[in-house]
Chains A and B, each alone.
Chain A
Amino acid sequence: DTGVSQNPRHKITKRGQNVTFRCDPISEHNRLYWYRQTLGQGPEFLTYFQNEAQLEKSRLLSDRFSAERPKGSFSTLEIQRTEQGDSAMYLCASSLLSSGNTIYFGEGSWLTVV
């Protein structure tokens, strides 16, 4: 158990619907990352936060995707107008930059768009 909590673990949604995933990082970790992973591939970076500031966004993060970390603790990743190509596992990870920045992942949230 890494301590990073994600929910829901599984989500099936119809194309065109909006979905939101939540991530609770390890307590006091100041960095929070979102990655996307499809079958047979390594995780792909989407975005990351330091405290509440979003420091970098991948070009994979289209305008249908938005991530927030309003109080520097939990984070949400929202996908609007979902498409079948959005089907993937969405991984959250956290780290403490001042303590070596070892990055720990949660168990992921599986999204299936039908």
Chain B
Amino acid sequence: GESVGLHLPTLSVQEGDNSIINCAYSNSASDYFIWYKQESGKGPQFIIDIRSNMDKRQGQRVTVLLNKTVKHLSLQIAATQPGDSAVYFCAEMEYGNKLVFGAGTILRVKS
């Protein structure tokens, strides 16, 4: 079936550096994408979303890029902080349907 996958299972970055987490999706009909952050023992926390009619969206310290041609999504975190350490999931949705999640990327921030 359709699935969302992540390229890197673990990413280690130095505090203050920028982080880039990548995600590939396979359902070309997906029109909505969300990045979630999940800390140990907690539920997924909404970070940022993007619709298929956009290729870039910025939030506070985060930017999501969408490349529909190659079905690729990325999350950029500027000036990564220790509090950013968590598991990051991308998820896709076809309009009015359910979210499908990938396996997640662990982000470790070294002080």
Contacts and interface: CB of A to CB of B under 8 A. Distances in A.
Interface of A: 2, 4, 6, 33, 40-45, 48, 56, 91, 93, 97, 100-108
Most-contacted residue by chain A among B49, B93, B101 (CB, 10 A): B101
Contact of B43 (A41, A45, A48, A91): A91
Given A41-B103, A102-B49, A108 B43 contact: yes
Secondary structure of the A contact surface, majority rule? loop
Given A42-B89, A43-B101, A45-B98, A2 B49 contact: no
Interface in B41-73: 42-46, 49
A42 B3 CA distance: 11
Contacts of B43: 2, 4, 6, 91, 105-108
B98 A33 contact: yes
Contacts of A103: 34, 46, 99
A35 to B, nearest CB: 8
A103 B96 CA distance: 11
Contacts of B45: 2, 105
Nearest to A58: B98
Interface string B91-111: 101001111111110000000
Nearest to A46: B98
Given A44-B101, A102-B34, 7 more contacts: A6-B43, A33-B98, A43-B99, A45-B98, A97-B96, A101-B96, A105-B43
